[in-house]
Amino acid sequence: MGIMSVCAERAPWCFTGGLGDVAAALPGAIRRCSPGVRYGSLTPLYRTAREALDAAHRTLTDTGVITEVTVGGLLWTGRVWSLDGETDPDTYFLECDALFDSPGLYEMAPVIIDGATVTPDLAVRFAFLVEAALQVSADLLGGRVDAYHLHDWHAAPLAWRLAETVPAQEKPRVALTIHNLAYQGHCSAEAVPEWTTAGDDGLNFLRKGIEHADLVTTVSPRYSQEIQTPEFGCGLDDLLRERGVVGILNGAGRGAWDPTADPHLASAFSGDAPQGRTACRAALLEEAGWARDDTALVVGVVARLDYQKGLDWVAEIVPFLPKMGIRLVLLGTGDPALETRFAALSEAHRSHFVAWLAFDVPQSHRIMGGADAVLVPSRFEPCGLTQLYAMRYGALPIVNAVGGLADTVTDADEVPGEGNGFVMRSGDVDGLRDALQRAVNVWSHNPKRWARLVQNGYDYDSSWAQSAQTYLTHLIPPASQTHSE
């Protein structure tokens, strides 16, 4: 059986968040569930991917597979490269510098075509990915494609294009995973005229995928229910209720996120041998410019600065941190208004708040390894990996009760002795302040209870094994699967 995964991101080479982490970890986990499956993963070869591969001294091999696709009224040529040393699964990059060689994954650079300088629409980039994937997947897998696994709006129209071009009895099965419904890939009808007809007022990439996929999944059970409501459905709740959505909780592959072998930490540690975490906490305090402090609760935030993440609530509570007994470090980039606000707050409240306005992977690891608690107050969160990494690194997550945050974090006060974090009782500033204060109270007055909660976090199973088996069951009929012991 052959499965091709198509995704716009793939950690650690080209990613902006959890989508890339999942795209990197899930295929290998599925392959381990069923070693006989032929599994490939296709991602654009962005400039950032080239740079990351070069920095890691990783090489690409020309597969000899070339594709030519007309999208946006122009003919584009692509070439597929395989990543040397990765066979679990086979990892492929689609090269087309005219479309992918730009500063960011979601920025388009001007190109010269027939002597004229043009900047292609972002929709053209991912329409090319879709059409190219249809052309090259069988060659890459060395045989029939039995199933496609599509991730988010960038790859979603492949389900529709299959329905348009392949007879129903020959069509591979298609699973579409929605990682964040808020991003749907809207474009004008003129952007990709090959995909539209006269009178169309535009195109929604994600809608096309939802309408034609055999299976629609999302990344947590709670989020699968939320997006079928008007509050979280982003205008697609009617369609999602009609189609149905399967919620499969993300795992968190160990890979780079392993405190026993993390090169970014001051000291290695684990749940069984947590002593090294003391050095990591001291190193974080020093990096923030603070003296050692065993009384204040050190809280970390690692997030994209966005309204979704509830970070305006965090900004509201910064002036009250000294009275609460909290020191807070924040790492992230994003909304310019939030960046400006946090920069000003960091300047005004330097004794208890530091904002590092950067995308810095090593520093994110140091925050996870050194903070006592990690704050994830999102207004909505499809799954979230931050809280899973926090628990693995011995930090208690403090979260809002939405999506995968609600599925993975049990409040310390809900079931005595069984909690692994603190859950906001309301999604607002008051709920955030209450959760933080409850965490401070336990940290300050009941260290044994705090240690028990931390151990519960260490013990939480965030592996991909169960989720991968669920995906495999949906992608390939059970009679066709070959399971490993």
Mind listing the pLDDT tens digit for each residue in 50-82?
999 999 999 999 999 999 999 999 999 999 999
Residues 432 and 473 in one domain: no
pLDDT at 83 over 70: yes
Check residue 155 and give its pLDDT.
98
Check residue 88 and give its pLDDT.
63
Which tokens is 42 given?
A: 């296709």
**Average pLDDT estimate for 377-406:** 97
Angle, helices 447-459 vs 429-445, to 10°: value is: 110
Position with higher pLDDT, 111 vs 220:
220
Check residue 85 and give its pLDDT.
78
- The domain tally of the chain equals 2
Residues 304 and 354 in one domain: yes
Has residue 42 been placed in a domain? yes
Residues 381 and 423 in one domain: yes
Check residue 325 and give its pLDDT.
97
Has residue 78 been placed in a domain? yes
Q: How far is Cα of residue 53 from the mean position of the Cα atoms in its chain?
A: 20
Has residue 203 been placed in a domain? yes
pLDDT at 221 over 60: yes
Query: Of the candidates 433, 264, 283, which has an alpha carbon nearest to the alpha carbon of residue 371?
Result: 283
Check residue 52 and give its pLDDT.
95
Can you give the residue range of the structural domain that contains 82? 2-251+465-480
Q: What percent of the chain has pLDDT over 90?
A: 84
Mind listing the pLDDT tens digit for each residue in 186-217?
999 999 999 998 788 899 999 999 999 999 99
Has residue 336 been placed in a domain? yes
Residues 315 and 233 in one domain: no
pLDDT at 89 over 80: no
In angstroms, what CA-CA distances link 418 with 108, 271, 456? 48, 16, 7
Which tokens is 195 given?
A: 């995909």
In angstroms, what CA-CA distances link 398 with 194, 319, 339, 390, 446? 47, 19, 22, 10, 17
Is 297 in contact with 441 (CB distance < 8 Å)? no
Check residue 202 and give its pLDDT.
93
Residues 91 and 216 in one domain: yes
Q: Which residues contact 3 (CB under 8 A, 6 or more apart)?
A: 30, 37, 38, 39, 40, 141, 145, 146, 147, 148, 149, 475, 476
**Average pLDDT estimate for 102-124:** 91
Give pTM, 2 decimals. 0.91
Check residue 185 and give its pLDDT.
97
**Average pLDDT estimate for 99-107:** 93
**Out of 14-28, 119-133, 282-296, least confident range:** 14-28
Residues 12 and 132 in one domain: yes
Check residue 400 and give its pLDDT.
98
Q: How far is Cα of residue 343 from the mean position of the Cα atoms in its chain?
A: 26
- The one-letter code for the residue type at 367 is I
Check residue 429 and give its pLDDT.
98
Rounded to an integer, what distance in angstroms lies between the CA atom of residue 380 and that of residue 378? Answer: 5
**Average pLDDT estimate for 152-167:** 97
Residues 472 and 439 in one domain: no
- Terminal-to-terminal C-alpha distance of the chain: 19
Mind listing the pLDDT tens digit for each residue in 172-187?
999 999 999 999 999 9
Residues 195 and 294 in one domain: no
The 3-class secondary structure across the chain, one letter per residue, is: CEEEEECCCECCCECCCHHHHHHHHHHHHHHHHCCCCEEEEEEECCHHHHHHHHHCCCCEEEEEEEEEEEECCEEEEEEEEEEEEEECCEEEEEECHHHHCCCCCCCCCCEEECCEEECCCHHHHHHHHHHHHHHHHHHHHCCCCCEEEEEHHHHCHHHHHHHHHCCHHHCCEEEEEECCCCCCCEECCCCCHHHCCCCCCCEEHHHHHHHHCCEEEECCHHHHHHCCCCCCCCCCHHHHHHHCCEECCCCCCCCCCCCCCCCCCCCCCCCCCHHHHHHHHHHHHHHCCCCCCCCCEEEEEECCECHHHCHHHHHHHHHHHHHHCEEEEEECCECHHHHHHHHHHHHHCCCCEEEECCCCHHHHHHHHHHCCEEEECCCCCCCCCHHHHHHHCCCEEEECCCHHHHHHCCECCCCCCCCCEEECCCCCHHHHHHHHHHHHHHHHHCHHHHHHHHHHHHHCCCCCHHHHHHHHHHHCCHHHCCCCC
Check residue 300 and give its pLDDT.
98
Has residue 238 been placed in a domain? yes
Has residue 257 been placed in a domain? no
**Average pLDDT estimate for 427-436:** 98
Check residue 31 and give its pLDDT.
86
**Average pLDDT estimate for 224-249:** 97
Q: 11-20, 36-45, 255-264, 367-376 — which one is most confidently predicted on average?
A: 367-376
Mind listing the pLDDT tens digit for each residue in 265-284?
999 999 999 999 999 999 99
Strand partners of residue 302: 331
Has residue 261 been placed in a domain? no
Has residue 263 been placed in a domain? no
Residues 233 and 279 in one domain: no
Position with higher pLDDT, 418 vs 438:
438
In angstroms, what CA-CA distances link 139 with 64, 94, 136, 418? 10, 13, 5, 50
Residues 345 and 293 in one domain: yes
Q: Tokens 């005229």 appear where?
A: 193
Is 1 in contact with 36 (CB distance < 8 Å)? yes
Confidence tier at 254 by pLDDT (50, 70, 90): confident
Rounded to an integer, what distance in angstroms lies between the CA atom of residue 422 and that of residue 454? Answer: 11
In angstroms, what CA-CA distances link 363 with 14, 273, 353, 360? 18, 22, 16, 5
Which tokens is 94 given?
A: 């689609």
Output the average pLDDT for the chain. 94
CATH assignment at residue 328: 3.40.50.2000
Residues 304 and 420 in one domain: yes
**Out of 270-274, 337-341, 472-476, least confident range:** 472-476
pLDDT at 87 over 70: no
pLDDT at 476 over 80: no
Residues 443 and 476 in one domain: no
